[in-house]
Structure 1
Amino acid sequence: MSRQIQLSPSLMTMDLDKFKKQITFLNDKVNFYHIDIMDGHFVPNITLSPWFIEQVRKISDVPMSAHLMVTDALFWVQQLIDIRCETICIPAEVINGMAFRLIDQIHDAGLKAGIVLNPETPVDALLPYIDRLDKVTIMTVDPGFAGQRFLKVCLDKITELRRLREKYGYKYEIEIDGSTNLKHWKLMSDANPDIYIIGRSGLFGLTDSIEDSWNQMVKEYEESTGYQFDDGLYVASH
């Protein structure tokens, strides 16, 4: 049976001295670019920004997906709406009392709304507004830094989200974020998310060349999962 997957490189983990070369190579191979925006409060780190998205757009037409790790969701959502970021993903932990308002605000702007579940947050937290979501991102590591320990227990959320989607006809896509690499490809593939976020350990840090790193990532995925890449975006079973 064939399977379709989507790939979203995490640009926080790319080599900034090779920024243009890496983006140019990936432009016709990936579905989205994943942009981590951290405010130093929700997590103890500060990373990318709406300005960074605008810079990437100078050399890419690939849709952007922003992953907010912030305490002031209202402020950052509006910033991303203003620059027309295609998908805006908000942590479930900070939006009680404003979830419906924020999702409507994103949709009213013609953009897609996603919610991110950190490892300790259950799928049940989404149930009041799950029917309105375009994407749910499952964190399989603690948020805030690259290279965190993989948390296998979080894969159960993907299974639960797929079950709910099939039962009720929800439209959200399921995304996995954290330690997407050779060590975990098989476990992740068995859980069957729609979108894989790939970072340093799964792509950018494999070799000194983005071309060689891409080819190695594809080989590791194929050998681990038993699926083969078709055109770099889709896979079909052996």
Structure 2
Amino acid sequence: MKNFWIAPSILSADFACLGEDTARVVSAGADLVHFDVMDNHYVPNITIGPLVLTALRKYGINAPIDVHLMVKPVDNLIISFANAGANYISFHKEASEHIDSSLQLIKAHGCKAGLVFNPATSLECLEYVIDKIDMILLMSVNPGFSGQSFISSTIDKIRKVRKIINFYNREIRLEVDGGINIENIGTIAIAGADTFVAGSAIFSQKNYHTVINAMRNAISLVVGK
């Protein structure tokens, strides 16, 4: 089977025992730990910062951590999260005054660089920075809150981005975040995504292993093994 990744968003985890809950979802088969950072400025919510990431590393979470910055400005926090132990750092194009410089900053601090596009955000800047990108994250909900429904027009956007990645022949992950569940993950995979962020769809279940396996099975049913 193609290298599909499941990335549980710990925004939906049990924060009273975040280390334990994150360890459980990693043991259940998560490929990435998705780490949502909100600042009540770029988006209308506040979540977690680099100290929490440092604490998870100290707790023993060794899985790759995928930091999604929903903040403005971004550059200082890029450095803080890189130093805290992030593997991927992604930011929204509207949140940086100089997208190219922010991407270079991420890579200079030893992390994989990602660029995020909201549902109504144009893809026009991609061709100018695609040589510096390791991940493209498409939001399939409007950022700021967990538990939203998938915006169906994202499917066409996924197809467009997959064509761009293939045209430039780049090794870039295509991640989708928002409203992903067992019922729609196959359709999202067919469109071209290979990395799937899921929060409440996973953490609302008692058995994380069962739901992650069900997601993988739903993908394999439509794209093959």
Q: What is the correspondence of 1:58-137 to structure 2 with a 5 Å cutoff?
A: 58=58, 59-95=60-96, 97-137=97-137
**Would the alpha carbon gap of residues 5 and 82 (structure 1) be closer, same or farther in structure 2, given more than 3 Å must change?**
same
How far off is 1:93 after superposition? Answer: 1.4
Q: Kindly provide the amino acid, as one letter, of the partner of residue 219 in structure 1.
A: A
Q: Deviations over 1:111-162 (max 9, x none)?
A: 1110110101122232221221010000000100011232111122221121
d(CA) in 1 for partners of 2:63, 2:224 = 23
Query: Contact 1:92/1:126 (CA < 8 Å) preserved in 2?
Result: no
Which residue in the other structure is 1:21 paired with?
20
Q: Deviations over 1:67-87 (max 9, x none)?
A: 011111122112113324211
d(CA) in 2 for partners of 1:13, 1:20 = 13
Q: Kindly provide the amino acid, as one letter, of the partner of residue 160 in structure 2.
A: E
SS in 2 for 1:3: coil
Question: Matched residue pairs, number?
Answer: 223
d(CA) in 1 for partners of 2:47, 2:224 = 36
Which residue in the other structure is 2:10 paired with?
11
**Would the alpha carbon gap of residues 72 and 22 (structure 1) be closer, same or farther in structure 2, given more than 3 Å must change?**
same
Tell me how large the CA RMSD over aligned residues is: 2.0
Does residue 138 in structure 1 map to residue 131 in structure 2?
no
d(CA) in 1 for partners of 2:20, 2:171 = 35
Query: Contact 2:25/2:208 (CA < 8 Å) preserved in 1?
Result: no
Of the structure 1 ranges 105-114 and 18-27, higher mean CA displacement relative to structure 2 is found in 18-27
How far off is 1:176 after superposition? Answer: 0.7
TM normalised by structure 2 equals 0.90
Q: What is the correspondence of 1:175-186 to structure 2 with a 5 Å cutoff?
A: 175-186=175-186
d(CA) in 1 for partners of 2:5, 2:144 = 23
How far off is 1:216 after superposition? Answer: 3.4
Which residue in the other structure is 2:164 paired with?
164
Identity percentage over the alignment? 26
Of the structure 1 ranges 49-58 and 125-134, higher mean CA displacement relative to structure 2 is found in 125-134
How far off is 1:221 after superposition? Answer: 5.0
How far off is 1:225 after superposition? Answer: 4.2
d(CA) in 2 for partners of 1:173, 1:86 = 13
Does residue 43 in structure 1 map to residue 43 in structure 2?
yes
TM normalised by structure 1 equals 0.86
Query: Contact 1:31/1:62 (CA < 8 Å) preserved in 2?
Result: yes
Which residue in the other structure is 2:209 paired with?
214
| Structure 2 residues not aligned, in runs of 5+ | none
d(CA) in 1 for partners of 2:34, 2:52 = 11
SS in 2 for 1:137: strand
Query: Contact 2:186/2:221 (CA < 8 Å) preserved in 1?
Result: no
Which residue in the other structure is 1:231 paired with?
none
| Structure 1 residues not aligned, in runs of 5+ | 229-234
Which residue in the other structure is 1:227 paired with?
221
Q: Kindly provide the amino acid, as one letter, of the partner of residue 67 in structure 2.
A: A
d(CA) in 1 for partners of 2:38, 2:174 = 22
How far off is 1:27 after superposition? Answer: 2.7
